[in-house]
Amino acid sequence: MKLTKKLHSCVRLEKDGRTLVIDPGVFSEPDAAVGADVILVTHEHADHFSEDRLRTGLESNPGAELWTLAAVAEQVSAAFPGRVHTVGHGDAFTAAGFDVQVHGELHAVIHPDLPPITNVGYLVDGSVFHPGDALTVPDHEVDTLLLPVHAPWNKISEVIDYVREVKPRRAVDIHDVLLADLARPVYDMMIGNLSGADHLRFASGEGTEA
């Protein structure tokens, strides 16, 4: 697969002429989901789920379909009958040639006073794992971990320990749009030196083979 980083937590995976997009939210490009055959959304927060971006993607390809948890599916299923699928922890499916396993149930705690919401992560082709906004450890070997490096719900020690627990071959930064450029070398150094995995950071539009 070809992995292309988009802004914030959005990524595109391409193989055999088909495209899968994860988490086109309000911080990602307006056309982030255009041309997708498969769209996956981890949870309902706006930086991961933008109804406008989803509509743009689904309308650009009449054959495109969305897999997501109930909180998101309920908001868009009426507009795209038969094209929106609800998933949860433990589910597995194949879409446009991509094999997807669903892991996780809850968003990481931002503050105890805030009510918890659901969150799922997606393991694509048994290789690339996008956890959404959680530090979910899948019960499966991961080659490429898409790593949420900066969020109101995490700190750098948790990020490093998460990589150590998952034990991927490499970690690729996501959830990074609010991370100041001045801080990026510090994060690069600490994750690269302490996590035990190869650490990669890409600008939007850059990527690698996965």
Q: What is the pLDDT of residues 49-95, one digit of tens each?
A: 999 999 999 999 999 999 999 999 999 999 999 999 999 999 999 99
Residues with Cβ within 8 Å of 70's Cβ and at least 6 positions away in sequence, in order, are 86, 88, 118
From 210, 207, 143, select the one nearest 5 (Cα to Cα). Answer: 207
- The pLDDT mean for the chain works out to 97
pLDDT of residue 84: 98
Does residue 86 form part of some domain? yes
What CATH number corresponds to the domain at position 100? Answer: 3.60.15.10
Does residue 112 form part of some domain? no
Judge if pTM exceeds 0.95. yes
* Domain that residue 10 falls in: 2-107+119-209
Does residue 94 form part of some domain? yes
- Give CA–CA dist 54/42, Å, rounded: 13
pLDDT of residue 143: 98
Mean pLDDT over 134-143 rounds to 97
Does residue 49 form part of some domain? yes
Q: Which of the four pLDDT bands, split at 50, 70 and 90, describes residue 142? A: very high
3-state percent helix, strand, coil for the chain, nearest multiple of 5: 20, 30, 50
Mean pLDDT over 143-166 rounds to 97
pLDDT of residue 91: 98
Does residue 140 form part of some domain? yes
Domain total for the chain?
1
Does residue 113 form part of some domain? no
